[in-house]
Amino acid sequence: MRFESEQAAATRPQKHIHLSLTARTPTIRQPSEVELELAPPQRKWACVCMKIPCNFLSWRLARFTSNSLSVIHTVTRIVMTLVPMTLIKLRFMSAVLKKLPDDPRVIAHKDSFLRNIKCTKKSLLVMVAIPFALFWTTILSSLERTPLTGRPRLILLSPSEEDDVAKQLQGPGWYSAVADILVNNAEGDVPRVISTTDWRYIWVHDTLRKLETYMHILAHEKEHFQHLVDTAPPGFPVPPPSSYPLAPRPRVSQIVHCFLTETFSRNTPAEPPPALGPPYNLLLVEKPDTSNGFSYGFGAGSAGIVVFSGFLDEILRGSQSPTPEQTAQLAILLAHEISHLILSHHLETLSSSTIFAPNMYNIFSDVVRTLLFPITMMFGPFVNDAVANMTRVTQSELLQGHESCFNRRLEIEADLVSIRILAYAGFDPRLAIHFWESRLDNDHEDLHNHNHNTRAPSGNFMRGDTHPVREERLLRLKQELARWRRIQPRAIVAANG
């Protein structure tokens, strides 16, 4: 699951506790000796690599960095400082022009005034247009399609910045980052890490590797579709090929090589294309009161999944010999977390929560305060201070609401992609509906107990961070499976054609 705010974690009923995790990338410290021991040895893995079209890479070469919106914010503040002065100047010049007599001796002065007024008006239009032009240039250059779903999304990070984030999480860096998260969010004692020799770890590890084995199909769905239809059991849902196949995010070296090849026709040797992501790191944490898991990071060697023992206890129900049904339930959670990783939701969250939303709010608040200043200045500094304090409080609430709605969208998208992974790995994707329905029933029970509490509902409850989210996710899953059945005949004809 994705990360949520501390207030949401504190007010959530305790049967299914979500960790209070930040969506921002923490500063990566050097791993300790204990964390180095936790990191498993490097595994040999045949990663599926893909070549990204050069025209796509050349387009990304013009991508802005994360500082783009900060620059636009600064430009906007300068413009909002100059606009009132320009308007006052225009008003003064118009008043002077009206009072000039119709004397032939001052006609030349009138013409000069008219030219100055026209020039000032043009300058005003240019000043107002510059922030808008910079903003839309940044947005359009940072738009892309989400793999598999085709959802338009905004990632305000350049490829070099993405590389920096990935390098921080390479190897032991991922384990040290997750250790920081677990320590910072621990209630009481720091949770214990389950050994890699524990039978539960081996079970989760084998299930995760099985799912990863079939991930390459996501990049070549059209080539595998007919074979999957022919070999699937009767009535087994087979996902139709997506119009947006999975592709790895490009590295800076690839972009430079492609640019040189296309622009200067240089036959420089290229680095191997990036891998899709697996094998992912895995960590099992002993936390019986937390029935969940989360994913963190992105890219090959820089991402992984954390599963809490409370989830394993819930599906195993005391058994030490997992049944196929219990393995399928585990696969549903793992496929959901894998979906977050392959769709680079960590990057998208980082871009939205720490770059886009705060900067957009700052730009909007500056514009509003500038427009209200002629009114608020008449009431003195006390009113201005009150408006500034209200702006800060409103910013916190709005950003929390934005993060809640944003995470809900990512959760639904991960659900839709996870059933594709399940189907390719041989698990019935319809089991995901039963799995989430069972957890919805638990949420209903927790909500019933919560409603008997005399405390008022929190802001997170009012924003919809409780069971209605799962109801929406269930509905979208059912709609997606129905869509598979509806367009499967057309997909078969297209594959044979």
Largest CA distance in the chain: 105
CB-based burial label for 208 (10 Å; 0-12, 13-18, 19+):
buried
The partner residues of 192 in beta bridges, in order of sequence, read 286
- Block residue for tokens 């006052």: 88
Note the pLDDT of residue 132: 92
Note the pLDDT of residue 361: 85
CA–CA distance, 210 with 424 (Å, rounded to integer) = 10
Q: ∠ CA 454-459-460 to the nearest 5 degrees?
A: 100
207 contacts 327 by C-beta, under 8 angstroms: yes
Note the pLDDT of residue 278: 83
CB within 8 Å of 342: residues ≥ 6 apart: 147, 215, 218, 246, 276, 277, 417
Note the pLDDT of residue 130: 94
The rounded average pLDDT for each run of 10 residues, N- to C-terminus, in the chain (497 residues) is 44 38 38 46 41 43 67 90 88 80 68 84 92 90 90 86 87 90 76 93 97 93 91 92 85 55 53 68 93 89 93 90 95 96 92 87 83 76 73 71 84 95 96 88 49 37 48 92 92 77
- Block residue for tokens 């929390």: 400
Note the pLDDT of residue 295: 94
Q: Say if strands 143-145 and 281-286 run parallel, antiparallel, or are unpaired.
A: unpaired
CA–CA distance, 235 with 428 (Å, rounded to integer) = 10
C-alpha pair distances (Å), 424 with each of 27, 38, 240, 241 = 37, 31, 11, 12
241 contacts 495 by C-beta, under 8 angstroms: yes
Q: ∠ CA 56-57-59 to the nearest 5 degrees?
A: 65
Note the pLDDT of residue 393: 64
CA–CA distance, 335 with 213 (Å, rounded to integer) = 12
Note the pLDDT of residue 98: 78
